[in-house]
Amino acid sequence: MKFGGTSVGDIARIKNVARRVKAEVDRGNQVAVAVSAMSGVTNQLVAYCNEMAPIHDQREYDAVVATGEQVTSGLLAIGLQELGLQARSWAGWQIPIMTDDAHGKARIVDIKGDEIISLMEKGHVAVVAGFQGIAPGNRVSTLGRGGSDTTAVALAAALKADRCDIYTDVDGVYTTDPRIVPAARKLDKVSYEEMLEMASLGAKVLQTRSVEMAMKHHVRVQVLSSFSDAPGTLICDEDEIVEQALVSGIAYSRDEAKITLIGVEDMPGIAAGIFGPLAEANINVDMIVQNTARDNTTDVTFTTPRADLERALKVVKDNMKVPYKSISTDKSVVKISVVGVGMRSHAGVAQIMFKALADRKINIHVISTSEIKVSVLISEEYTELALRALHTSYGLDAA
């Protein structure tokens, strides 16, 4: 069982979580629990680090931000003991959950589950601090924002759990963010592959890596609400889903910025010249378009994470060997993506998107597609309008 930040947001809620865990134990299950920090705490800890020094040692950042989860794991263990259960908390390093040394966004490489398993066999509940592990050199590491989901799935895989139940503040995975589109519908089931796309395209209900991990180790993940007993969403293999919709979900990401190089001389090596230095600087480039040349010059547009925009701009300006006229940037853009395995076998999916946006006079800056998704970059001010329009156009609105 995993409980997110809102679910452990105060003492009353942690007591509520303890009761839910007890109910699972009473049903005869052996339970390990992963917890997030109380909502808002991680943001506060990150802010403290930035206040101390805008650019700081990532290992110390990890030492600071990992503390939020330690507080909730201890509190939940106390709450479980109060209900008469045997329980103890585990920090990542105590298990240990071993990670690589990419501090701030470390990957789990191994979990030594033996001690937890032997205690669980004796009827103890293991309460694990999410989001953290231990990196080479005996340093505390964290798994990237939203990383407690990944702790939970990795632990489920290591313990060979029957299920991994992710409890959050919505009662499942919806066709799109229910906080923005009230007509969003809860999905009973969604395939690993679609969930992976939705998460990586911005649906933050699950961290992308947790879905990757679930897919790789065949962990049955359910997303449920901590605050109701409504049935949740099962993430499972595609062939377990009987009625597959054309489009299963629509995701959005505001974490985008657009850079356009105008009037670039059209010659071999443009793309390598622009994107090589960006790759060397570890800046992810996502969508790219290059226009056909006119008068021997062309425009090249691409996107980077918003937080990397200033750095990307500097890298391009410092390294651009090919002559160009000017460079422009735009931070107020959003990427909207429609996702569905149904696209593999049906034509015209993208056209529905283009028409729905055109009808609302929403201009598309960049388009990119893959086998099961179509993404467009549009102005951020149209986010809600576009999401709602697309949701209706693909027939996803709740009845």
By the criterion CB under 6 A, which residues form the site for ligand ASP? 4-5, 36-37, 42, 68, 130-131, 145-149
Figure out which of the listed residues 170, 181, 221, 389 binds ligand ADP, where binding follows CB under 6 A: 170
Are 99 and 161 contacting, i.e. CB atoms less than 8 angstroms apart?
Answer: no
Are 190 and 222 contacting, i.e. CB atoms less than 8 angstroms apart?
Answer: no
What is the nearest approach in angstroms of Mg ion to the Cβ of residue 7?
A: 10
What is the nearest approach in angstroms of ligand ASP to the Cβ of residue 151?
A: 8
Q: Which is nearer to ligand ADP, 245 or 289 (CB)?
A: 245
Q: Which residues of 256-291 are buried (b: 16+ CB within 10 A; e: fewer)?
A: bbbbbbeebebeeebeebbbebbeeeebebbbeebe
Among the listed residues 122, 151, 168, 152, the one whose alpha carbon sits nearest the alpha carbon of residue 30:
122
Q: Which is nearer to ligand ASP, 92 or 232 (CB)?
A: 92
Identity of the amino acid at 291: N
If contact means CB under 5 to 8 A according to the sort of partner, which of Mg ion, ligand ASP, ligand ADP, none does residue 131 touch?
ligand ASP
Query: Dihedral, CA atoms, 101, 143, 37, 153, nearest 10 degrees?
Result: -130
Q: Which is nearer to ligand ASP, 130 or 133 (CB)?
A: 130
Q: Residue 42 interacts with ligand ADP (CB under 6 A)?
A: no
Alpha carbon 29 to its chain's center: 29
Window 200-259: residues binding ligand ADP (CB under 6 A) = 203-205, 249
Figure out which of the listed residues 62, 69, 177, 299 binds ligand ADP, where binding follows CB under 6 A: 177
Q: Residue 146 interacts with Mg ion (CB under 5 A)?
A: yes
Site string for ligand ADP, 11-40 (x = CB under 6 A): -------------------------x----
Q: Which is nearer to ligand ASP, 36 or 393 (CB)?
A: 36
Q: Report DSSP state, residue 37.
A: P
Q: Residue 68 interacts with ligand ADP (CB under 6 A)?
A: no
Are 259 and 309 contacting, i.e. CB atoms less than 8 angstroms apart?
Answer: yes
Among the listed residues 161, 158, 189, 159, the one whose alpha carbon sits nearest the alpha carbon of residue 175:
189
- Piece in contact with Mg ion (CB under 5 A), picked from 56-64, 139-147, 291-299, 334-342: 139-147
N-term to C-term CA, the chain: 32
What is the nearest approach in angstroms of ligand ADP to the Cβ of residue 231?
A: 14
CB nearest ligand ADP: which residue?
A: 4
Among the listed residues 44, 177, 154, the one whose alpha carbon sits nearest the alpha carbon of residue 106:
154
If contact means CB under 5 to 8 A according to the sort of partner, which of Mg ion, ligand ADP, ligand ASP, none does residue 42 touch?
ligand ASP
If contact means CB under 5 to 8 A according to the sort of partner, which of ligand ADP, Mg ion, ligand ASP, none does residue 133 touch?
none
> Any alpha helices (H) in 39-191, and if so which ranges?
41-52, 58-65, 67-82, 114-121, 148-158
Q: Residue 68 interacts with Mg ion (CB under 5 A)?
A: no
Identity of the amino acid at 311: R
Q: Which is nearer to ligand ADP, 203 or 349 (CB)?
A: 203
Which residues of this chain interact with Mg ion, rule CB under 5 A?
4, 146
Which residues of this chain interact with ligand ADP, rule CB under 6 A?
4-7, 36, 146, 168-170, 173-174, 176-179, 203-205, 249
